[in-house]
Structure 1
Amino acid sequence: MTTHTITAPSAVAAQSITKTYGTDDTQVTALDDVSVAFHPGDFTAIMGPSGSGKSTLMHCLAGLDTVDSGQVAIGKTVITGMSDHQLTILRRKHVGFIFQAFNLVPTLSARDNILLPLDLAGTKVDQAWFDQIIEVLGLGDRLAHHPHELSGGQQQRVAVARALLTRPDVVFADEPTGALDSATGTEVLQLLARSARDMGQTIIMVTHDPHAAAYADNVVLLKDGAIVGRVEDPTADTVLAALAELGA
C-alpha cells in the first residue's frame, strides 16, 4: 500500500469521516461527516451526551476502528486503509494509550510495565528521557513495586509513564480518571496537563466530567455523531453551560 502524507501541522486530523453500525432498520450513525484537527502540544477533551460518538471518534482517530468514509492522519501519515499489521507498527511508534482500567500487567514491576512497549518493539530505552518522566511523575521510589502494591493514583501514573516513554505523536486517554477518587483524579489530570505544557505532548482525552475537561486547553463537543462546538480555555462552569445547551 502507498503511504500518503499531509502537510497540515496537526498531531492528529480527521477529514469528513463517517462511521455507521448495523444495517437497514438497525443502522446507527456514530460519526456523521466529522472533520477535526488536534495541534501538537495541545491537551484536548472530547465531550458530549451519552451516545454522541465520543469513544467512536477516539477509536477511529487511533486506528482502533475503521471509518466508512473520509480520512484520518496521525502526524503526516494517513492511516485510513492501512492493514492491521501496519496500524500495529504505527501505533507502537507514534501512539500512547491511557485507559480507565490502567491495563498494567500484574506480574511485572512498575519499571517493567513502563518499559513494556519498548520491549515489545525491541527498542532500547532512552535513559535520560525515562529518568525525566519518572521524575516528573514522582515514581522514583515505586519502580520495583508490582501493581497490587501501588495505589490507584500510582498505577495510573505508571500508565501515563508507559504512554509517554515512546515519545508518541499523541496520547489518547479514555476516561483516565473514571476509576479514581476525586483527589487522585485531580493528581492525574494535573500530570496530563503538565505533560502537554512541559513536554509538548499532544493529549486527546474522552471524558464525561466537566471538572476533568477544565484541565484541558480546549474541549470539542459532539452530539449525534457530529461536532457542534468547541470551548477554548475551559472551566468547569463554561463546560457545564456548553453541555446544558446540548441537552447533556
Structure 2
Amino acid sequence: MTTLTNSSFEAENTRQGTAVSARGLNKNYGRGETAVAALRNVDIDFEAGRFTAIMGPSGSGKSTLMHCLAGLDSVDSGSIMLSGTDITQLNDTQLTTLRRDRIGFIFQAFNLVPTLTAEQNITLPVALANGKVDRDWFNSVTLTLGLADRLSHRPHELSGGQQQRVAVARALLTRPEVIFADEPTGNLDSRVGAEVLGMLRRASQEMGQSIIMVTHDPIAASYADRVVLLRDGLLAGDLNNPTPETVIASLTKLGA
C-alpha cells in the first residue's frame, strides 16, 4: 500500500467518505522479553455509513484496535484519522472533547448511571457538554428503540435489553461521526441480542450511522456489512456481506 503523508492521508480520508482510517498502527504492551505486539503496522479504512465488525482469536488485537481507533488507548506509532482529524496528535483534554462530541460508545456492561432515569442517561452526554437536546431527534430515537414508555424508569427497573437500548439511544443522540460497540450483546440472551443488533443495523442503513463493533460471535457479526479479521496483531481477512457460515469458516482458518 502506498505510504501517505498526513496531508494526503487527510485528503484520501475525506474523498473516499471514510469514517475512520489508520496507517502504520503499532501498539506494544510490556518491555523487553515480555513485550507483546498487540498491533503490527496495521493499515485499515472504515467506510462512513457502514456497520463493520472486528473479529479474531483471543489475543488477536481486536479490542486494542478498537480502543486505539476510539482514542481510548494510545499507539506507539502510526496515524488515526477521524474525519480529517489525526487523533494521535491530540492531547488528553482534546481527546476527551473529541470522544464526548464526535464519538458514541456502547459497552457490554451498559454503563448506565443507576440514580438517573432512562431519559437522563440518554441525554447525559449533551448535559455534560452544556448542550441543548434536539427534542425531535430524541423523540425519533427513543420511539424507534421502543423506549418511549420507559423514559422515567431507572436502570434497575429496566430489563437487560431495555438497558442496552438506552445505551444505544445515548450513543445515537449526539449524531456522532462513529459509534464504537464493544461486545454489545455479551450480557444479553439471544433474542434480545438479536433485537439490539437489528437496531444497530437499522441505525447504519436508515440513519447513515457509522458503526464499528468488536465481537466474538459469528451470528452477531453477520448483522454487519463487513467483517475485518485480525490474528496476532495483523490484518488477516476481510469479508463483505458476511453470513454466520462464512464468518465461522474464516475464523476456523485463523485457528479461532
Q: Bin the TM-score by the shorter chain.
A: over 0.9
Structure 2 match to 1:6: 10
Cα distance in 2, alignment partners of residues 202 and 247 from structure 1: 29
Deviations 1:111-142, CA, capped at 9 Å, x for gaps: 00000000000000111111110111011000
CA distance, structure 1, for counterparts of residue 150 and residue 235 of structure 2: 41
Distance 2:136 2:41 in 1: 43
Q: Could you tell me how far apart the structure 2 residues matched to 1:93 and 1:10 are?
A: 18
**CA-CA distance at 1:81 after TM superposition:** 2.3
- CA offsets per residue over residues 163-194 of structure 1, 9 Å max, x none? 01111000000000000001110010000000
Alignment match, 2:191: 183
- In structure 1, the gaps of 5 or more residues are none
Residue equivalent to 1:34: 42
Partner of 1:141: 149
Matching residue of 1:204: 212
Q: Quick one: which amino acid aligns to residue 18 of structure 2?
A: S
Question: 1:64 is aligned with what amino acid?
Answer: L
Please name the residue that 1:98 is paired with. Answer: 106
Match of 1:108 in 2: 116
Task: Report the identity percentage.
Answer: 62
1:104 shift after superposition: 0.2
Deviation readout 1:194-246 (Å, 9 max, x if unpaired): 00011000000000000000000000000000111101100000000000010
2:3 alignment counterpart: none
Question: TM-score of the superposition, structure 2-length normalised?
Answer: 0.94
**What amino acid maps onto 1:34 in structure 2?**
V
1:169 matched to which residue of 2?
177
- Which ranges in structure 2 are unaligned for 5 or more consecutive residues? 1-5
Alignment of 1:229-240 (within 5 A): 229-240=237-248
2:54 match: 46
Q: CA deviation at 1:148?
A: 0.4
Q: Which residue of 2 aligns with 1:224?
A: 232
2:221 aligned partner, one-letter code: A
Distance 1:33 1:149 in 2: 46
TM-superposed CA distance for 1:73, in Å, is: 1.2
Counterpart secondary structure, 2:191 = helix
The answer to whether 1:158 aligns with 2:166 is: yes
Structure 2 SS opposite 1:139: coil
Aligned residue type for 1:128: D
- 1:119 paired residue among 98, 122, 127: 127
Aligned to 2:28: 20
Instruction: State the distance in 2 between where 1:231 and 1:244 align.
Output: 14
Name the Cα RMSD after superposition. Answer: 1.1
